Structure 1
């Protein structure tokens, strides 16, 4: 989806996509806190904090001269698309590093799948509601992602299969959006899918299934 709206919070003006992202993080954290143990909401909040810090500081890599000239720019700008990818990868590696602490049994994989799927779906839905894109693309996004998310969470299977199904459905939805499959969110979905596959595979190896 294309960002078409900006919102002011006192002296700070943020794009609708940033508002949607922050709101999504809070909503998903709250769902995990209510639905699962405090451990998982803490893991999620740590990953979110890591993502935001890396995303903001990645400006040092993408526009080092501007940061040196105007250090305060770190408060208002970020590393853009590159920063998003780096932030997601670093946050994913953080979760992977904690994998033994989190456990590998099937029950412990459910909160991780919920967090990944809900973060992507709620973010996309809020972006639709906060911006003004073409009506067909907005309706398709809301309807398909809502049904897909409810179906997957209701019939949650192994993490790898769950994320694969969601990612395929998400890519199909992206074809009907203004930016198509080239948008950053699709790439992020693929990165998260890879993380899920790695975690699932390692769990199977540890469990003696391979």
Structure 2
């Protein structure tokens, strides 16, 4: 959904997308901590921190000339969409390294998939609540994502094959919703869903493969 509103906090201007993202992070963290425990919640907070820091500091890459002219600009500007993708790429790499090194005790793929999906669902719903837009697009967005969220929450632990299937459904739902949204398939949230979906597809396939090898050895 497009940003149509901004919020003023003193001299600070906050886009509705930032508000939606903050709310999404808080709810996703709460969901993970409640369902998977304190350790997984703490790990998720670390990942969020890395994304924000890299997004903020990546202005050095995206607008190097401005930073050279005015070094203090690093405190006021950020790396935009490119910076966000850099942060996302970093945490994806960290998840794989941590999971390979420490197994699911720290970087549990299921808990992190839950966080990613809850974040996207809440973000999409809040963007509808906070901004103006076409009624059809708003209804489709909220109904599709909320229906999937309910399905996901009650199905994620049913069987080893369900997380992978739900990841495919997650991407399919966003493809469907994007067909009704103004910017269609070029929106950053949609591209993010595809990246996250493909990433967790690969991770879950590796996880299932290792589980099968372990069972065969037993």
TM-score calculated relative to the size of structure 2: 0.88
Match of 1:202 among 201, 206, 209: 206
Uncovered stretches (5+) of structure 1, i.e. residues with no partner = none
Aligned 8 A contact 1:159 1:196 in 2: no
Quick check: 1:188 aligned with 2:192? yes
Give the secondary structure class of the aligned counterpart of 1:3. Answer: coil
Higher-Rg structure is 2
Quick check: 1:103 aligned with 2:100? no
In 2, Cα distance between equivalents of 1:125 and 1:70: 38
Structure 1 partner of 2:129: 129
Structure 1 partner of 2:112: 112
Give the secondary structure class of the aligned counterpart of 1:103. Answer: helix
Aligned 8 A contact 1:89 1:191 in 2: no
Deviation of residue 112 (structure 1)? 2.1
Q: Which stretch shows the higher mean deviation, 91-100 or 173-182?
A: 91-100
Deviation of residue 15 (structure 1)? 0.7
Distance 1:102 1:119, change over 3 A: farther
Give the secondary structure class of the aligned counterpart of 2:71. Answer: coil
Q: Deviations over 1:146-190 (max 9, x none)?
A: 011111221225332211111111111011011101111111111
Give the secondary structure class of the aligned counterpart of 1:98. Answer: helix
Aligned 8 A contact 2:7 2:15 in 1: yes
Aligned 8 A contact 1:125 1:141 in 2: yes
Give the secondary structure class of the aligned counterpart of 2:212. Answer: coil
Aligned 8 A contact 1:109 1:159 in 2: no
Give the secondary structure class of the aligned counterpart of 1:207. Answer: helix
TM-score calculated relative to the size of structure 1: 0.91
In 1, Cα distance between equivalents of 2:130 and 2:75: 23
Deviation of residue 63 (structure 1)? 0.8
Aligned 8 A contact 2:109 2:200 in 1: no
Structure 1 partner of 2:179: 175
Quick check: 1:42 aligned with 2:27? no
